Structure 1
Amino acid sequence: MYMLSITLFLLSAVSAIPAHLPHTHFSIQKRTLTPDNTCGAANGYICNPNDPYGGSCCSASGWCGNSEAYCATGCQSAFGSCASSAPVSASPQPSATPQVSATPQPQSNGPAVPGTSLAPSKEGCMWVVDGAGSFTHSQTFDFSTLASFPTDDLAISTYTIGSSPYTQLYTTSNVAVNSETLQLKVPGGQSASPILGAEVSTQDEDILYGSVRTTMKASTVAGTCHGAFFYKDDNQEVDIELITGDTWKGVHYTNQRANADAEASTIQMALPSNATNDFQEYRIDWLPGRTDFYLNGELQQTLTDNVPSTAGSWLWNNWSNGDPGWTGAPPLQDNIMEISKIEMYYNRTSSAGSC
């Protein structure tokens, strides 16, 4: 992801809206998980039809080759790209489930609402997330019930990113609570730097591990990246990113590289077919030693490399910088990322929470 990696009804008090501090972002599209020897449509992988290489050999690592022989070496990285044709549930798991706290894991408290994650249980002062552990803090932003932007808990970013070929600028005018959703807009028709976009972040900047669910609908307009992610710096970052308008690019689950000598851990999967028509729940469980990525309550992937260990913030953004290998050209029409709900269960380093 090019970091960043991010209209509020413009009130007279706009100048008082908190702004998030700037940071930089870059995209690392290297696949670091080869070989995995899972190829072909039978395993849920299809070659990107826009690639010239063709063939039938695809892997969870994100590469296509032009014969099944490439499976023997994990699908060679010199041959195109691929996407999943169906959710992959058999991601390798760590040998032991990391515990966020010593609170015992409860039994499942019933089925989740279809298309969403199981609701946490409350045990004493803790919120207990099935399969993830216990957390001291909880926040829910249901934008169907909010008349304005919740400035006490979220901040609007206002800064410039010096990316290429266009620089980016996040502004308050592109953030709105409207039609029962939080709307992050990249205005259409921009053709010169800076390309205006939108980003919001938590006021809490000391989040250390958590389960965060973002219910959102992607824009049908090509040319932007929708992001929902944890961020401390470019080496402590966990991303869910959607590239709009070109569904083979799909959704990217990423732990950015932990240091300058490392490579990011990235998994690319196809977007749901109705991602632009209906709201989908995208979820990150960031835990000690692993990150779990969910779609509509179903585990998609687990990453165990480059897992952040430093406290930071949670952010949501919509942006374009014109990179032909990522967002593509800026959108011709207004591109609006719509968020209906954000649910957060997390720990803070400066606060133990309260009952």
Structure 2
Amino acid sequence: MLAVETVHVPLGERAYDVRVGDGLIAGAGAQIAPFLTRPRVAVVSDETVGALHLEALRAGLADAGIDMTALCLPAGESTKGWPQFTRTVEWLLEQKIERRDVVIALGGGVIGDLVGFAAAVLRRGVRFVQIPTSLLAQVDSSVGGKTGINAPQGKNLIGAFHQPTLVLADIGALDTLAPRDVLAGYGEVVKYGLLGDAAFFDWLESKGPALAAGDREARAAAVKRSVEMKADIVVRDETEQGDRALLNLGHTFCHALEAATGYSNRLLHGEGVAIGCAMAFDLSARLGLCPQEDPSRVAAHLHAMGMKRGLADIPGDLPDADALITLMGQDKKVMDGKLRFILARGIGDAFVTDDVPADTLRAVLSDALAAKHAAA
């Protein structure tokens, strides 16, 4: 059994702990009880995660004398919109959730984002606990207080900053993930090494295959380091006025590709992040910002992990370069009409800029599309 490791996120009155270890779902009652004014919680999950983990959570809460009521939403990115958000808020009101109560988000990034946003607006803000069950949610979306839903115009355009009260990252829950979902989550893990910790990227080159194969110690170490890095950046810039944008390495490309593929199973978010990171390094190298070998090293690691690393790996047709650039323009990181990119001076050294020549960006996309057509 892994020891439980704690990463503290020191945000003053909004400070909280992220706990990483085995068996945290089964022991959730003891972890959550100190935050309750009455022994009752409302849990929102999805049908897939609920079937796997809801009864274990119920038993873990019951061990501490806590009653649980639960709502399971459909699984998938399409849940992260107004209809299921409205359903969730109205269900929480029907359960008579009060401002001093705690709502639990049990699931991946979709559930965490949607439930966190529901908690943010319910009675102008109730507390919530994140129990992320996917690797992507454990290393990224469950930490930092970004909550929200998608709009027809783009991802995450409606939401609020609302920090959780506690995050329980149960490494054992990752055993239930399909290999593709593990690798999608790993896209966000790689991002952390690329944006700010070259030594972590070195470690991933060595330990990544074991992590993917199910090594719990490697998984726990990767989750802890990713959370530490995210927490450090969030504390410096909670509402994304500056440094926090570094966490979006790869995401400007990713969000355009997700929109182009209809937020469908053709491209999972973490897959898009991995491709986006590779393209951001390609763009950086073309602009003379980073060594020419860095994009090759990034692509080689993604390939060694069996991951998507370019547009050629996305099934089906994609729009042309200009259409993809138009989709990038819907990204929430646009400021004063200018696209903001996270580029790199090298592995572990990312920075934010809006000074990207349009012709270079178009060339990166056109060449990637040409490679896709050649591979077809």
Structure 2-normalised TM-score?
0.24
Higher percent of residues as strand: 1
Which structure has the higher relative contact order (CA within 8 Å, separation 6+)? 1
Structure 1-normalised TM-score?
0.24
